[in-house]
Amino acid sequence: MQVLVDTSVWSLALRRRHSPPRDAHLVAALTDLIGDCRVALIGPIRQEVLSGISDGDTFERLQERLAIFPDEPIRPQEYVNAVLFANVCRRHGVQGSATDFLICAVAANHTWPILTTDHDFARFAKYIPVTLYRPAKDT
C-alpha cells in the first residue's frame, strides 16, 4: 500500500538539526516507507517542498533527491472532488487550503493513507473519506 506523504513530513525530515526532531517517529516512518518503495508524491507537494528553498545549490540537491519519486498523476475528477471535500468541510466549520483538499481527494481516490504532521487532516477526516497513516511512536 502506498502512503501519500504530505509536505509537513518532508520538511521535518529534510531539516538539518543536531537534536532529533520532536516527531522523530514520523521521520523514521518516512525512511521506512522510502525503503519499502511505498511513498506516493504528487506535484503540488513537490512544489511546496521545493518552494521553501531559496539557496540555489540546496534547491538543486533537494530537487535531485526528490526526482526518484515520480509524481502520481492527478485526474480531473480529483480536482472536482477536492472542491466537494472543501464544501463538505466548510459546512461543518472546518477550513483548509485548496492543496490540502487536493491531497485528500487524491488519497481518497487511491485509498492511500496520508502521513502528515498537519492536524487539519484529522479534522478533515471527520467529514470526508480520508485516513491518516499513524506510525507507532517509540517508547
What DSSP character marks residue 39? E
Q: What is the pLDDT of residue 53?
A: 87
Cell of 78: 480529483
What is the per-residue pLDDT across 81-137, written as a single tens digit (0 to 9) for each? 999 999 999 999 999 999 999 999 999 999 999 999 999 999 999 999 999 999 987
Cell of 101: 483538499
| Partners of 115 in beta bridges | 5
Cell of 112: 492511500
Strands 3-5 and 39-40: parallel
Residue 79 pLDDT level (bands cut at 50, 70, 90): very high
Measured distance CA(11)–CA(65) in Å, rounded = 13
Residue 139 pLDDT level (bands cut at 50, 70, 90): very low
Mean of per-residue pLDDT scores for the chain: 93
What is the per-residue pLDDT across 9-61, written as a single tens digit (0 to 9) for each? 998 888 765 546 678 889 999 999 999 999 999 999 999 999 978 899 989 99
If we measure between CA atoms, which residue out of 32, 37, 21 comes closest to residue 135? 32
Distances (CA, A) of 68 to 43, 60, 74: 13, 13, 18
Distances (CA, A) of 13 to 6, 21, 24, 66, 109: 11, 9, 8, 12, 26
Domains in the chain: ranges and CATH? 3-125 (3.40.50.1010)
pTM of the predicted structure, to 2 decimals: 0.92
More confident residue, 69 or 19: 69
